[in-house]
Structure 1
Amino acid sequence: MRAQEPGPPADEAGPEAVARPPWRRWLRVLPLVALILISVGLVAGGVTQWFSLDRLLASRAWALAMVEEDRLRAMVLTAFLYVGTVVVSVPVSVFMTMLCGFLFGTVPGALLAISSCTTGAVIVFSIGRTAAGGWLLRNTGGRLNRLAAGFRRDAFSYVLFLRLLPLFPFWMTNLGPAIFGVRLRTFALATLIGISPGGFIYAATGARIEAVVAAHQDAKAACLAAAGTDCDRALSLRSVITPELVATLLALGILALLPVLLRRLRRKPATEPIPCDD
């Protein structure tokens, strides 16, 4: 029985779709355009300066008092803030995860950060898929379509790899799978699993932020004793992202790609033509 060929896209399926005014299609793109403009405006306005370890340390007494007064309300507000930063693609996920660990402890903070980050990523993915995914694939060359098809075949492993080892900006890894037509369930599950190791690591670092501060003060004292320069350099996230942490995430990323590599190796080579007898 001959397989049924896929029909035209939903927005081009019939006379009603053809007669649909152009502005109706542009309405689908507006949420994505709005997110991009908000993100660019916030980053250009220096919003990332408010998400720094120095500011956290300066206001840690107030933040801990808020948690002590109403822990549930503090968790809800933190979750909303985390989801919002992911949706508008402000690159502060590491800081937000450390903040969750600092305020609520390693395990509760990590779980709050992982769920909030996944929720924000799913929102961006859904907006991107609705706004531009199908249109972009229909109006680009065959190379992008072949790339999209290959990505979809091993979507879980690829998304998992991108989450474990953040080589690309978070917004790109949210919109890319959406444009390539990855299933929402696959994207959400791979994101949830992929950000979990880093989530627990950064939350644990946030939970022991006082030790990080002490180490920073010791380094500053040693710098002053050696008559060094730039001893008052602000404590940054680079000081808590160690080579061992990067190596751990790299190893996990390689493990995520193992199913793809094994599948490629197990593919049988094409059957060679049998030579004809003379």
Structure 2
Amino acid sequence: MTDPKQTRDSSAARPWRHLPLALIALVAVIGAVTLRDYISFETLAENRAALLALRDQNYLLMAGGFVAAYVTIVAFSLPGAAVASVTGGFLFGLWAGTAFNVIAASLGAIAIFLAARAGLGQTLAAKLDASEGRIRRLRDALRENEISVLLLLRLVPAVPFFVANLLPALVGVGLGNFAWTTALGIIPGALVFTSIGVGVGSVFDRGETPDLSLLWAPQVIGPLLGLAALAALPIVLRAWRARKGV
């Protein structure tokens, strides 16, 4: 069992561990103030011809630049993740665009996860490991159902993306499980955003902006909630077996 005093001493001796998360928070605040009007569908509409020309001239360079920009947006919680996802479909089509969106969003999420785990995550996870009573039972339940909980965080649309990145780091989730559940869990949403981007050119031609309310349409939200229910099934079964003593 981890000694809380050792945890406090370790944290005090290595204050630099908090620097990555502090930097992310600082850049996120600055970005929210300065970039909101620049990373937008209006900007995409104004520059779509230039972006398509760059893609046609050097596809690999454009794809790499797009992924790098998207990783930066996610890693620093900057505004414009939805715009970036739609742009992926606009520039690269449904399948390549979805792949690039999933790769970039996953890498950005992993960056936040590692920053949070290096700082607050280590301290809080150690305290949870040393806890007793109800908190310990909650921790044990989370560990037992780790995969299902991680998938639920990705599949339930009401959970903000940055929360699904930070919370696992703060409760001691392993990097491997976090990485693969993130990549798998964001695929359905990425497909929806990317498909919107595939047809965004005609939307701009009509002088309109993409309608992201499609995400809450029954034909979209229904399958997502169905997948969330499937991910929650192991939790329900374990709880039922524990209650029945099976």
- TM-score range normalised by the length of the shorter chain: 0.7 to 0.9
* 2:223 equivalent to 1:263: no
Where structure 1 has 5 or more consecutive residues not aligned to the other structure, the ranges are: 1-5, 218-233, 272-278
C-alpha deviation, 1:242, in angstroms? 4.4
1:230 aligns with none
Q: Which amino acid aligns with 2:6?
A: E
* 2:178 equivalent to 1:187: yes
Determine the C-alpha separation between the residues in 1 that align with 2:20 and 2:44. 32
* 2:14 equivalent to 1:25: yes
Kept in 2, the 8 Å contact 1:89–1:171? The answer is: yes
> Residues 52 and 247 of structure 1: is their aligned pair in 2 closer, same or farther, counting only changes over 3 Å?
farther
1:223 aligns with none
1:220 aligns with none
Instruction: Name which of 68, 93, 102 aligns with 1:105.
Output: 93
Q: Which amino acid aligns with 2:172?
A: G
Determine the C-alpha separation between the residues in 2 that align with 1:44 and 1:148. 37
Where structure 2 has 5 or more consecutive residues not aligned to the other structure, the ranges are: none
RMSD, matched Cα: 2.6
SS in 1 for 2:209: coil
2:113 aligns with 125
SS in 2 for 1:199: helix
* 2:55 equivalent to 1:67: yes
SS in 2 for 1:241: helix
Structural mapping, 1:196-235, within 5 Å: 196-213=187-204, 235=209
1:248 aligns with 223
> Residues 248 and 212 of structure 1: is their aligned pair in 2 closer, same or farther, counting only changes over 3 Å?
farther
Q: Which amino acid aligns with 1:243?
A: A
1:229 aligns with none
SS in 2 for 1:89: coil
2:6 aligns with 12
C-alpha deviation, 1:213, in angstroms? 3.9
Determine the C-alpha separation between the residues in 1 that align with 2:174 and 2:18. 20
Say which structure, 1 or 2, has more relative contact order (CA 8 Å, 6+ apart).
2
Instruction: Name which of 22, 31, 34 aligns with 1:42.
Output: 31
Q: Of Structure 1 and Structure 2, which has the larger fraction of its residues in helix?
A: 2
How many residues of Structure 1 are paired with residues of Structure 2 in the alignment? 242
Q: Which amino acid aligns with 1:249?
A: L
* Structure 2 length-normalised TM: 0.87
Q: Which amino acid aligns with 2:88?
A: C
**Deviation string for 1:199-241 (max 9, x for gaps)?**
1221122111134446x65xxxxxxxxxxxxxxxx62553543
* Structure 1 length-normalised TM: 0.78
C-alpha deviation, 1:139, in angstroms? 5.1
Determine the C-alpha separation between the residues in 2 that align with 1:7 and 1:172. 26
SS in 1 for 2:20: helix
2:67 aligns with 79
> Residues 130 and 60 of structure 1: is their aligned pair in 2 closer, same or farther, counting only changes over 3 Å?
same
Deviates more, 1:242-251 or 1:100-109: 242-251
Report % sequence identity. 29
Kept in 1, the 8 Å contact 2:89–2:194? The answer is: yes
> Residues 185 and 51 of structure 1: is their aligned pair in 2 closer, same or farther, counting only changes over 3 Å?
same
Structure number with greater Rg is: 1
SS in 1 for 2:172: coil
Determine the C-alpha separation between the residues in 2 that align with 1:213 and 1:151. 45
